[in-house]
Amino acid sequence: MIPVRGVEGTRIAVLGLGRSGLSAARALKAGGAEPLLWDDSEDARDKAAAEGFTLHDPSRREAWTGVAALIVSPGIPHLYPEPNRWIAAAIDAGVPVDNDIGMFFRSLATPDWDSFDIPPRVVAVTGSNGKSTTSALIHHCLLASGRESQLAGNIGRGVLDIDPPGDAGVVVLELSSYQTDLARALTPDVAVFTNLSPDHLDRHAGMGGYFAAKRRLFAEGGPDRAVIGVDEVEGRYLANQMGEGPGDDRVIRVSVDRKLEGPGWSVCARKGFLSETRKARQVASVDLRGIRGLPGAHNHQNACAAYGALRALGLSPKQIEEGFRTFEGLPHRSQIVAEKGGVTYVNDSKATNTDAAQCALEAFDRIRWIVGGQLKDGGLTPLKGHLDHVVKAYVIGRHAHETALEISQIPHEVCETMAVAVARAAAEAQPGETVLLAPAAASFDQYDNFERRGEDFAAEVATLPS
């Protein structure tokens, strides 16, 4: 646990008692504060009370009197589409609003660090797609090279649940826009921006607000090194803002669209080969084509971003390549769950938007595509020019018939349920083909989350004959 610093003797409210809320409450208590907890869910409140925490009803007239701060869980809106009523009340009362990420950054360094030969470092990864894989890949390569590493944030453990890092230890954080938007402190040593595509636009009042939330990690965080994907205009703008000139190697530019020219530091992947360039000279390369845990151009982009961060941390190209080759990928992200009868079954349930689904569809040849769920704004229209590899689609979801109309230009079958979709795809698949779950939609019409959807896919595949 990372005890929160600077809170001794204060009363601090915590709103939202999921993983991050409860870990924040424990860390506040360890730091000498009195946490005051609330959640709209009675079950969540009961769980907190059973752990010995004080419940604090924010609807009471004097609820904010004597409260030093409000710590908010990431799923609760603080500004758009409209502020949560209790956050609005705290703001009106002049109570500072923060989250567990802000508390982490202001509490991580301790006097013990003065005795370390090499101070611990924090790598923070954000972006629209690929940030989980990039974070996990960085963590994996650090461990494979013998370095101490902990993975937390939007993946793995809550940031305040981790152990205090030791000499030369590294903390790798995956940070969502919800987390970067509200944190009052952001001070990573290395910050990574993977890419940007439309997502969570209601929460950020549009694309500009969404990018601004990501940008805070860099503009306000002031990292020593910034690894930035520049295949979108926002990334190019961000890299320009962070650099002092073309040769400033504090910025490592990443691309899978083109070879980057100039005297700066860049990492690119083209046709399956990653290359590192510094001062206009190639200094290292990695053949990514045979790495099972990193299939497709989107994973090659993740590999480039991870490579840049790892080089900034001092790992050699050889150490990084060895780590890449033992990386097995993450569940629900281009995860190979089985190979039966010459057919490969891939779970990419995390492809909850069309950009992520497009990456998956371009990573494999001859695809039996399981698609559908709770479609986002724009539906499947952005995918219409990217379906060349699809042999046939199998449509799931409560609105499967409506979804099927959006892909009427390709062979398709309305299945509605995962069980039917997997059975039909398996029955028709030929050796060399891939049955791919890449829904291009949220899961909430049929499942609690994308993980449960991916687990259902894997369970149905497991029932198929070998």
Q: DSSP labels for 61-124?
A: TTTTTTEEEEEE-TTS-SSSS---HHHHHHHHTT--EE-HHHHHHHHS--GGGGG-SS--EEEE
Q: What is the spatial distance between Cα 377 and Cα 91, in angstroms, rounded to a whole number?
A: 31
The annotation status of 131 as a binding-site residue, yes or no, is yes
CATH code of domain 335-462: 3.90.190.20
Give the CATH superfamily of 11-98: NAD(P)-binding Rossmann-like Domain (3.40.50.720)
Range(s) within the chain of domains with CATH label 3.90.190.20: 335-462
Q: DSSP assignment, residue 153?
A: E
The annotation status of 84 as a binding-site residue, yes or no, is no
The annotation status of 129 as a binding-site residue, yes or no, is yes
- Tabulate helix, strand, coil % of the chain (nearest 5): 35, 20, 45
The annotation status of 59 as a binding-site residue, yes or no, is no
For the packed helices 19-30 and 100-107, what is the interaxial angle rounded to 10 degrees? 40
The annotation status of 21 as a binding-site residue, yes or no, is no
Range(s) within the chain of domains with CATH label 3.40.50.720: 11-98
Residue 320, token pair as written in the block: 């990084």
Question: Tell me, what's the pLDDT at 466?
Answer: 83
pLDDT in tens, 15-38: 999 889 999 999 999 999 999 999
With H, G, I as helix, E, B as strand and everything else as coil, classify residue 229.
strand
Question: Tell me, what's the pLDDT at 274?
Answer: 97
Q: Which residues pair with 410 in a beta bridge?
A: none
CA triple 403-406-411, angle to 5 deg: 95
- Which residues, given as ranges, of the chain have pLDDT below 70? none
Q: DSSP assignment, residue 224?
A: S
Residues contacting 58, CB < 8 A, separation 6+? 13, 15, 38, 64, 86, 89, 90
Question: Tell me, what's the pLDDT at 287?
Answer: 96
Q: What is the spatial distance between Cα 327 and Cα 345, in angstroms, rounded to a whole number?
A: 19
With H, G, I as helix, E, B as strand and everything else as coil, classify residue 303.
helix
pLDDT in tens, 283-335: 999 999 989 889 888 899 999 999 999 999 999 999 999 999 999 888 898 89
User: Taking the model in full, what pTM does it have?
Assistant: 0.88
Question: Tell me, what's the pLDDT at 198?
Answer: 82
Question: Tell me, what's the pLDDT at 184?
Answer: 96
Give the CATH superfamily of 108-325: Mur-like, catalytic domain (3.40.1190.10)
For the packed helices 296-312 and 354-363, what is the interaxial angle rounded to 10 degrees? 100
Question: Tell me, what's the pLDDT at 129?
Answer: 87
Range(s) within the chain of domains with CATH label 3.40.1190.10: 108-325
